[in-house]
Structure 1
Amino acid sequence: MCGLAGIVLSHPGRPDEGTLLAMRDAQRHRGPDQAGVFVADGVGLGHRRLSIIDLAHGRQPMVDEAAGLALIYNGELYNFPSLKTELEALGVVFTSHSDTEVLLRAWQQWGEDCLSRLVGMFAFAVWDVRAQRIFMARDQIGIKPLHYGFTGAGDLVFASELKGVLAHPQVDRTLDPQALEDYLALGYVPDPKSIYRSVRKLPPGHWLSWRAGEAQPTVRQYWDVSFDRTSDETADGAIAKLRALLDDAVKSQMVSDVPLGAFLSGGVDSSAVVASMSRASAQPVRTCSIGFDHDGFDETVYARQVAQHLHTQHFERRVGSDDYALLDTLAAIHDEPFSDSSALPTYRVCELARTQVTVALSGDGGDENFAGYRRYRMHAWESSLRARLPLGLRKPLFGLLGKLYPKADWAPRPLRAKTTLQALARDDVEAYFHTVSTTSAAMRQRLYSTRFKQELKGYSALEVFRAHAEKAPTRHPLSLAQYLDMKTWLPGDILTKVDRASMAHSLEVRVPLLDHRLVDWASTLPPALKLKGGTGKYILKKALEADLPHDVLYRTKMGFSVPLAAWLRGPLAQRVREALLGGAVARSGYFEPSVLEQLLREHASGRADHSATLWKLLMLDAFLRHTQQGISDKAKVDA
């Protein structure tokens, strides 16, 4: 993996090399092995490299003066050998064995059309000297990040991470109120927004082009998951095809010139990847797992069972349930508010893996591809009920019942009907948004100060889901929920979490279940092959029965999480109280102090579980403190 940085001027001249180096080296963790820079009229490109393939070559920026091209690239092209063969047949001569040169020649040969040929995870930028134009692209799924924005002088700046963009002193740091509303609803800032008004994220499956003199960059989508339901695949046919696609994706992602292993949680997805790796490898696969000293959150017994079954070389570490000391570290590596509490164990498993390997394969993507989340089952059931009654009847009836029914966080799950009643009063898109919003719209409205509501001007994070739903290629309730997750949750939360945690340790993580060819094929499967009789990931589990123990495949899903509610009533109680009543969150002016105090009181007493909202606010406080410290440190340097 690598870190990119670039400046494209809006006027004649050469970018300041010191600024470019600051942007590049703010991301040193992404590429500690090598560093390079290219500065010419109108452009500056910086690169930090984590060497994985062709360690002696592939230095970047890769410049071809004769062709008038300069490339910086973060990622891996898994099909680069076949692309290289195709290009050689066209007369292209190569001087290295790196996928970087293959990408440069593919761009030179086919231009933006090369994107349809790429299989991998990537973010790259190509400077065309003759056209004086920058072209940038991000992989189909959004595995690798790319941020960009404009300075006050009109120059385009970009980097892999926000910290790289923010290292440019002329990038405005005004927070985006809409992004903050998105964060409070979802726990992350979804693409294409960032927490700052002046910085955007290039969405997955998109490219961008810009040259000086153009008012705005051109941004276009080049790929989208199809959900083409013309497939009439039988269960047996789907099992055979799935195993072939998985084995092909895994085998192609095991190519590496440095030590390679895998994450193993003991769940279906990571076990599927390790089983496929074991079939492809003559040597035992190195696997890593993290456990907690809290039984309700510890899956190491299952990881150990899979490791023994597949004869892996297994490494395991247990961390204390007081591992919340990482809170400030997470704020620093994410650069914007991010509240997925599984970022803590993800950080630790990456830390463990890096002691053994430089590349690790993970099982991310299985739930989104094959409908593994419990919320999919609930959404499908609720949607079937909604279909039986018109919205004009459902909205007033269930809206009233949902309003009157008490919110019983303390009660057994079957008695917590308030959320279901509220969902029945909505359409499918709003209902699914309500399901994944860990802080409800009503709670957000109570929390926000009058000033902040005025800044929002009526905006709601629901608009993010509405916009994606309008472009969705499917209207089937289950498929639509999967599509919405692939546009929001997957790139905004899951892949962001893994990228930042792994890169913080200079570890490359690959995700075979998100090979875009497998993703697209899975989307065409009949929904009944994914969710059948209340069993999520039905076809994936059937495909793995020959490889894994039955109790691993069909046990209750636990998830990769931490005991938040207990932390916030115990060892974190004082810290969250200080943050909300006297810290950066309290001073921000975004929230009503009396409501913050009420949330703390209700959670501490056990009358309600506000852990998701309180954790978001605690992580927002850490972000604000980190941001303010950064601004303060810069002011000291400038002085």
Structure 2
Amino acid sequence: MCGIAGLFHCGTIKPVDPLRVERMTGVLAHRGPDGAGVWTGPGVGLGHRRLSVIDVEGSPQPMASFSGRSIVIFNGEIYNYRELRRELTEYGATFQTEGDTEVILEAWERWGPDCVRRLNGMFAFAIYDQGRRELFLARDRLGVKPLFYCELSDGSVAFASELKGLLAHPLMRREVDPKAIEDYLAWGYVPDHRSILRGVKKLPAGHTLTLRHDGGVPEPQQYWDVSFAERSAAKPRDLEAELLHHLQEAVTSRMVADVPLGAFLSGGVDSSTVVAFMAEASRRPVSTFSIGFDVAEADETSHAEKVAALFGTDHSAHTVSADQFDAIDTVAGMFDEPFADASALPTWRVCQLARENVTIALSGDGADEAMAGYRRQVFHHREEQARRLIPNAVREKVLGPLGRVYPKADWAPRPLRAKTTLQSLAGSGAHGYARALAVVPSEWRGALYSNAFAAQLGEYRAEDPFVELMAKAPARSGLDRAQYADLKFWLPGDILTKVDRTSMAVSLEAREPLLDHRLVEFAACLPEGLRVKGMQGKWLLKTAMGRYLPNDILYRPKQGFVTPVSEWLRGPLAGKARGIAKSAMLARTGWFDNARLAELAEAHIAGRSDHGRLLWQLVMLDRSLARLGIT
């Protein structure tokens, strides 16, 4: 795992100052503490920071191909590099190293842009082809590894693994995009179709971008997508066997390393599945790591300990408490953009714990999105069934008005939150699912904004791109569309961003076997009844893993990696909640109605309402703006 950054001149060829590239990679040193390098040519500069995990002594970057024609900088891992190396050798390729980086170079020179279709891995890389005089940027299929880019005033394009790499360039503008604030308030993060700063873009997952010296910046080209439009006709028992095969292949392929390796273990189905297959493939006890909370209702350490005992792992655990939130500024600095998933703190802590012992950790991320493991997906599946039974006129004219007047009951279990259900059923499936996923619904966001900021936004609502994504999904059903949206929108924007930044902050490589694209493609073709049965999601996965895991692990209510932020903001962090309305940073922006923010904070602290997630969003926005130097 590494950090990359570079500069490329479009429309003209100007010299690139290697010191500028060096400064851009210098701020990414946490991503690669084991080595650094810069290469420049006419109109191009490539920089790299290396975390050595394969071919530790060799494979320095930037790396030139054997022919000398192409130069690459690469962040990630290619899990099928040995197979590709053998194939390329048969075609006559010559290799000077033992790692996967050189395989990418030779694959490029053999297959050109189509090389990405042959790579199984997580990656963001840049190849400058001196013969073609073009720069080729690529990001992996699911968006595990990030890549930011922007056009600068001198005609160059800057790119980097993190936004801070771009910010190290003196020509980088720091102007906030108002739509990004609306997106952030809705989702708790800035999704991949936007950046907090105007002019900055994120290369979408499963896309490539080709830049030439004699042209401008084109639109990225998609090379992969997942389709839910097909259904497997195989028997359930055969599908179960195929799933176990995919799981075994995905996990064992990600255990290849020349440095110590372990796994995150929460005690849930997904991380326990990964550990089960690791234990089966390893001659030594697997090193596992978990984080607990000082709030009993949110703590899962006993489940993790049970799984660790079952597979005889070398297990380490750590407890996170409210007084550890003195690290708010540190966490904000990891993400550059505002990021309000409160589980980022414990994720960082478990990464710190793991890094004390290993350089690589496997995670269980991805199964919920691919195999319908979220409660919201199960509820959406049921709501879609209800939509088919209730006429549109009844839903719009009866359920809609009823939902607006029905009392809000955040304290109640989801099935009893009639207001949420009524409001969801009143609209389309896509609008209903957007409401289920949003942290702050549209009507609440509107009440927070100042008149001037609302005028800036105009008719734009954060849900618009999300609803459009679901409408265009290659899918048959509402459940398909919900999973597609989670894989394309929620996963790269929230989950993978969180894991990438927190792991890289401590120079730990996190690998996601359950996001092997072959496993995801297989899961997308499963009949709905093998994804959701009754109120149980991930049905086939749980059935298949019955031979490895006990029922109280497989079928216990899903907790997720939930941080008790609402309790903390009523207790030890109440001062931060009250401070939101008085924040000089937020006040200067003119975006919010500060009196309204003060009311929300006091209502939360008094226990009259639960605004914990919103208040946490505002705290993190305030800290992020300060870190970005926005005035």
Distance 1:396 1:390 in 2: 10
Residue 13 of structure 2 aligns with an amino acid whose one-letter code is P
CA displacement at 1:318 relative to structure 2: 1.6
Distance 1:414 1:27 in 2: 45
Q: Select between 367-376 and 212-221 the one with higher mean Cα deviation.
A: 212-221
Distance 1:109 1:594, change over 3 A: same
Matched residue, 1:6: 6
Aligned pair 1:223/2:187, yes or no?
A: no
Distance 1:313 1:598, change over 3 A: same
Distance 2:423 2:94 in 1: 63
Distance 2:414 2:71 in 1: 57
Matched residue, 2:201: 200
Aligned pair 1:56/2:54, yes or no?
A: no
Distance 1:412 1:353, change over 3 A: closer
Distance 1:65 1:413, change over 3 A: closer
Q: Helix, strand or coil: the match of 1:55? A: coil
Q: Select between 259-268 and 463-472 the one with higher mean Cα deviation.
A: 463-472
CA displacement at 1:605 relative to structure 2: 2.0
Q: Select between 212-221 and 38-47 the one with higher mean Cα deviation.
A: 212-221
Residue 30 of structure 1 aligns with an amino acid whose one-letter code is R
Distance 2:472 2:418 in 1: 32
Distance 1:12 1:63, change over 3 A: same
Contact 1:288-1:353 at 8 Å conserved across structures: yes
Aligned pair 1:563/2:567, yes or no?
A: no
Matched residue, 2:101: 100
Distance 2:219 2:322 in 1: 47
Equivalent positions of 1:418-433 (< 5 A) are: 418-433=419-434
Contact 1:408-1:608 at 8 Å conserved across structures: no
Residue 497 of structure 1 aligns with an amino acid whose one-letter code is K
Matched residue, 1:488: 489
Deviations 1:190-240 (A, max 9, x none): 112111111110010000011234233241100001214231132211110
- TM-score under structure 1 length normalisation: 0.97
Distance 2:466 2:476 in 1: 14
Matched residue, 2:261: 260
Residue 467 of structure 1 aligns with an amino acid whose one-letter code is E
CA displacement at 1:414 relative to structure 2: 4.9
Distance 1:322 1:97, change over 3 A: same
CA displacement at 1:411 relative to structure 2: 4.7
CA displacement at 1:66 relative to structure 2: 3.9
Aligned pair 1:461/2:462, yes or no?
A: yes
Aligned pair 1:243/2:240, yes or no?
A: no
CA displacement at 1:65 relative to structure 2: 7.7
Equivalent positions of 1:55-94 (< 5 A) are: 55-64=56-65, 66-94=67-95
Distance 1:459 1:329 in 2: 32
Contact 2:293-2:319 at 8 Å conserved across structures: yes
Residue 463 of structure 1 aligns with an amino acid whose one-letter code is D
Deviations 1:272-322 (A, max 9, x none): 000000111111111011111211111110000000001111111122233
Q: Select between 220-229 and 477-486 the one with higher mean Cα deviation.
A: 220-229
Distance 1:436 1:411 in 2: 18
CA displacement at 1:69 relative to structure 2: 1.0
Matched residue, 2:618: 617
Distance 1:217 1:156 in 2: 12
Distance 2:303 2:66 in 1: 55
CA displacement at 1:533 relative to structure 2: 1.5
Q: Helix, strand or coil: the match of 1:189? A: coil
Distance 1:59 1:18, change over 3 A: same
Q: Helix, strand or coil: the match of 1:488? A: helix
Distance 1:620 1:459, change over 3 A: same
Distance 2:47 2:293 in 1: 40
Distance 2:280 2:442 in 1: 48
Distance 2:604 2:580 in 1: 15
Distance 2:575 2:509 in 1: 37
Distance 2:414 2:229 in 1: 36
Matched residue, 1:637: none
Distance 1:442 1:291 in 2: 35
Deviations 1:237-257 (A, max 9, x none): 111011100001111100000
CA displacement at 1:417 relative to structure 2: 1.1
Distance 1:411 1:491, change over 3 A: closer
Matched residue, 2:164: 163
Distance 1:97 1:412 in 2: 54
Deviations 1:410-465 (A, max 9, x none): 45655421111100111010100000001010000000111111221211111121
Residue 108 of structure 1 aligns with an amino acid whose one-letter code is E
Distance 1:277 1:65 in 2: 36
Distance 1:154 1:402 in 2: 52
CA displacement at 1:591 relative to structure 2: 0.5
Q: Helix, strand or coil: the match of 2:288? A: strand
Q: Helix, strand or coil: the match of 2:96? A: coil
Contact 1:194-1:201 at 8 Å conserved across structures: yes
Distance 2:622 2:461 in 1: 22
| Identity, % of aligned positions | 51
Distance 1:81 1:410 in 2: 53
Distance 1:551 1:149, change over 3 A: same
Matched residue, 2:27: 26
Q: Select between 43-52 and 603-612 the one with higher mean Cα deviation.
A: 603-612
Q: Helix, strand or coil: the match of 2:487? A: helix
Residue 587 of structure 1 aligns with an amino acid whose one-letter code is R
Equivalent positions of 1:309-388 (< 5 A) are: 309-388=310-389
Distance 2:272 2:231 in 1: 30
Deviations 1:23-56 (A, max 9, x none): 0111000000010110111000000000010111
Q: Helix, strand or coil: the match of 1:74? A: strand
Distance 1:366 1:382, change over 3 A: same
Q: Select between 584-593 and 95-104 the one with higher mean Cα deviation.
A: 584-593
Residue 594 of structure 1 aligns with an amino acid whose one-letter code is A
Contact 1:530-1:537 at 8 Å conserved across structures: yes
CA displacement at 1:327 relative to structure 2: 1.4
Deviations 1:473-525 (A, max 9, x none): 00311111000001111000000000000000000010000000100110000
Distance 2:310 2:523 in 1: 27
Deviations 1:65-119 (A, max 9, x none): 8442111110100000100010011111111111000010000100011111110
Distance 1:317 1:582 in 2: 33
Equivalent positions of 1:465-480 (< 5 A) are: 465-480=466-481
Contact 1:193-1:201 at 8 Å conserved across structures: yes
Distance 1:582 1:96 in 2: 54
Deviations 1:323-348 (A, max 9, x none): 22221111100000100011011000
Distance 1:135 1:463 in 2: 31
Matched residue, 1:288: 289
Matched residue, 1:131: 132
Distance 1:351 1:33 in 2: 18
CA displacement at 1:161 relative to structure 2: 0.5
Distance 1:438 1:239 in 2: 35
Distance 1:31 1:277 in 2: 26
Distance 2:111 2:68 in 1: 13
Q: Select between 285-294 and 427-436 the one with higher mean Cα deviation.
A: 285-294
CA displacement at 1:396 relative to structure 2: 2.0
Contact 1:580-1:617 at 8 Å conserved across structures: no
Structure 1: which 5+ runs fail to align? 633-639
Residue 212 of structure 1 aligns with an amino acid whose one-letter code is H
Distance 1:555 1:302 in 2: 10
Q: Select between 399-408 and 348-357 the one with higher mean Cα deviation.
A: 399-408
Distance 1:195 1:218 in 2: 20
Q: Helix, strand or coil: the match of 1:545? A: helix
Matched residue, 2:174: 173
Distance 1:163 1:152 in 2: 18
CA displacement at 1:404 relative to structure 2: 0.8
CA displacement at 1:389 relative to structure 2: 2.5
Contact 1:531-1:537 at 8 Å conserved across structures: yes
